[in-house]
């Protein structure tokens, strides 16, 4: 006897569409989140631009594009420019501006961390007085800046350049001003500062740097690091630096050199201390300087020829006469006062440099 065949069960089709449907929902949800987060990042970027403008740094862009979906936001600015207004006492008095121009600036933010912005700069950059030909040109291998925290209260700012070089334009020639293997600058509100009396902590480090036009003593390669605390701020509101330094002076603030170190061949120097700001805007005060390799100091400052005969008459040399015996990192050294007054920097009675007023 032949049994009747069971009717074939119909296959359910809905499971076939579950995975694509879920994927579509996730994609739509992520797209909505990206556009929402991108709007938040865009607001943060606009906030930073507004803060920069209040600080006297007005950003411009010849052509801007936005991309980065699905995980980040990229704002690319071709033909970027920064107008520097009231950044020096001379600019404040003359109401003039300097113009800094970049080939390109790329600002990147992850959609899940909108308060962390990373900017990458494409070389070269030129600086000029507004409406005038370039005064200097700057190049680098890589240049990156980052800012963390909301614009109204930044948590940390950093700038790192690999192989930066600055050259002054002199007609058809380019004169080397500064060059380094690496330059890094980090700044943040000092963690130990009182809420009512904020302070800024900044650390600058340079590796294998030369600055023949900055000072003759910097013509040979050197490594340097300085950590500074800026006391006397009333708040973190954006404003040009001359205005901020004027407020610090009025509040009796100071610039604390927590640690400074420089090494150049056989020369090793370390300094620390606190400097105030005089009513005329000049630095005022004294740093405690310890130097190992005193002969190298005289050569670096160009004083060996002038003081050579006198040095032979003084036991231990001129540096021993100006300071006291000390030890620096296991080496015999001399401790000296480095005084700042009315724009002059003196090593004992010898003027070794000059500084401009801060406001």
List, for residues 296-342, the tens digit of each pLDDT value: 666 666 665 555 555 555 545 556 666 788 999 999 898 989 999 99
In a domain, 3, yes or no: no
- Which residue has better confidence, 275 or 310? 275
Residue 46 is predicted with a pLDDT of 81
Could you tell me which residues are beta bridge partners of residue 147? 117, 157
In a domain, 9, yes or no: no
Q: Tell me which of 179, 206, 232 is where a domain ends.
A: 179
- Name the pairing type of β-strands 156-162 and 116-129: unpaired
pLDDT at 282 over 70: yes
Give dist(CA 73, CA 68) in Å, integer.
Answer: 5
pLDDT at 270 over 50: yes
In a domain, 7, yes or no: no
In a domain, 14, yes or no: no
187-196, 199-208, 212-221: least confident range: 187-196
Considering the domain architecture, whether residues 189 and 163 belong to the same structural domain is answered as no
Residue 135 is predicted with a pLDDT of 94
- Which residue has better confidence, 350 or 318? 350
Over residues 5-51, the pLDDT tens digits come to 555 555 555 555 555 666 666 666 666 766 776 676 667 778 888 88
Considering the domain architecture, whether residues 220 and 152 belong to the same structural domain is answered as no
Considering the domain architecture, whether residues 355 and 259 belong to the same structural domain is answered as yes
In a domain, 51, yes or no: yes
For the segment 270-278, the average pLDDT, to the nearest whole number, is: 96
Q: Tell me which of 127, 160, 179 is where a domain ends.
A: 179
Give dist(CA 189, CA 149) in Å, integer.
Answer: 11
Contact (Cβ atoms closer than 8 angstroms) between residue 42 and residue 73: yes
pLDDT at 211 over 80: yes
Considering the domain architecture, whether residues 27 and 161 belong to the same structural domain is answered as yes
Q: 1: pLDDT confidence band, cut at 50, 70 and 90?
A: very low
In a domain, 158, yes or no: yes
Considering the domain architecture, whether residues 309 and 357 belong to the same structural domain is answered as yes
Write down the mean pLDDT value for the chain: 84
Residue 117 C-alpha from the chain's centroid: 15
Q: What percent of the chain has pLDDT over 90?
A: 47
Considering the domain architecture, whether residues 125 and 194 belong to the same structural domain is answered as no
Q: 184: pLDDT confidence band, cut at 50, 70 and 90?
A: very high
- What the block records as the tokens of 150 is 């909301």
Residue 161 C-alpha from the chain's centroid: 9
For the segment 278-302, the average pLDDT, to the nearest whole number, is: 84
Alpha-carbon radius of gyration of the chain: 29
DSSP assigned state of 5: P
Q: Which helix (H) or strand (E) holds 174?
A: strand 173-179
Total structural domains within the chain: 2
Considering the domain architecture, whether residues 98 and 225 belong to the same structural domain is answered as no
Please choose, from the candidates 300, 340, 343, 344, the residue with its C-alpha nearest in 3D space to the C-alpha of residue 319.
Answer: 300
In a domain, 119, yes or no: yes
For the segment 106-120, the average pLDDT, to the nearest whole number, is: 87
Q: Determine the structural domain holding residue 131 and report its residue range.
A: 21-179
- Which residue has better confidence, 299 or 110? 110
Give dist(CA 189, CA 233) in Å, integer.
Answer: 11
Residue 312 is predicted with a pLDDT of 56
Considering the domain architecture, whether residues 92 and 236 belong to the same structural domain is answered as no
Considering the domain architecture, whether residues 64 and 111 belong to the same structural domain is answered as yes
Burial label, 25 (beta-carbon count in 10 A; 0-12, 13-18, 19+): exposed
Q: What percent of the chain has pLDDT over 70?
A: 80
Please choose, from the candidates 135, 222, 238, 128, the residue with its C-alpha nearest in 3D space to the C-alpha of residue 182.
Answer: 222
Phi, psi of 34 (to 5 degrees): -60, -45
Give dist(CA 90, CA 124) in Å, integer.
Answer: 26
Residue 19 is predicted with a pLDDT of 59
Considering the domain architecture, whether residues 244 and 354 belong to the same structural domain is answered as yes
Residue 89 C-alpha from the chain's centroid: 20
Q: Tell me which of 153, 179, 205 is where a domain ends.
A: 179
Q: 66: pLDDT confidence band, cut at 50, 70 and 90?
A: confident
Residue 195 is predicted with a pLDDT of 58
pTM: 0.82
Considering the domain architecture, whether residues 147 and 118 belong to the same structural domain is answered as yes
In a domain, 314, yes or no: yes
- Which residue has better confidence, 352 or 280? 280
For the segment 86-104, the average pLDDT, to the nearest whole number, is: 84
Please choose, from the candidates 301, 233, 291, the residue with its C-alpha nearest in 3D space to the C-alpha of residue 266.
Answer: 291
């Amino acid at each position: 006897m032949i049994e009747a065949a069971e009717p074939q069960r119909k296959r359910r089709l809905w499971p076939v569409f579950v995975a694509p449907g879920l994927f579509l929902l996730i994609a739509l949800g992520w797209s909505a989140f990206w556009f929402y987060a991108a709007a938040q990042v865009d607001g943060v970027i606009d906030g930073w631009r507004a803060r920069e403008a209040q600080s006297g740094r007005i950003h411009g862009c010849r052509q801007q594009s936005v991309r980065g979906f699905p995980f980040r936001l990229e704002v690319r600015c071709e033909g970027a420019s920064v107008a520097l207004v009231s950044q020096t006492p001379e600019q404040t008095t003359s109401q003039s501006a300097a113009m800094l121009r970049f080939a390109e600036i790329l600002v990147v933010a992850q959609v899940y961390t909108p308060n962390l912005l990373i900017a990458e700069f494409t070389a070269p950059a030129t600086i000029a007085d507004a409406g005038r030909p370039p005064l200097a040109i700057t190049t680098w291998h890589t240049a990156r800046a980052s800012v963390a925290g909301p614009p109204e209260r930044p948590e940390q700012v950093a700038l790192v350049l690999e192989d930066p070089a600055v050259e002054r334009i002199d007609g058809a020639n380019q004169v080397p001003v500064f060059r380094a293997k690496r330059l890094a600058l980090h700044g943040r509100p000092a963690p130990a500062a009182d809420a009512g009396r904020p302070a800024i902590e900044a650390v600058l480090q340079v590796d294998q740097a030369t600055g023949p036009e900055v000072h003759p003593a910097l013509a040979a390669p050197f490594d340097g690091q300085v950590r500074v605390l800026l006391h006397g701020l009333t708040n973190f509101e954006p404003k040009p630096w001359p205005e901020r330094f004027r407020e610090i002076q009025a509040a009796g603030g100071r610039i604390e050199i927590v640690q400074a170190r420089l090494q150049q061949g056989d020369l090793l120097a370390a300094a620390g201390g606190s400097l105030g700001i005089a009513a005329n805007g000049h630095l005022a005060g004294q740093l405690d300087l310890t130097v190992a390799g005193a002969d190298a100091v005289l050569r670096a400052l160009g004083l060996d020829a002038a003081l050579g005969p006198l040095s032979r008459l003084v036991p231990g040399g001129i540096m021993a006469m100006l300071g006291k015996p000390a030890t620096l990192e296991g080496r015999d050294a001399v401790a000296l006062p480095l005084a700042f007054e009315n724009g002059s920097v003196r090593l004992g009675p010898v003027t070794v440099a000059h500084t401009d007023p801060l406001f």
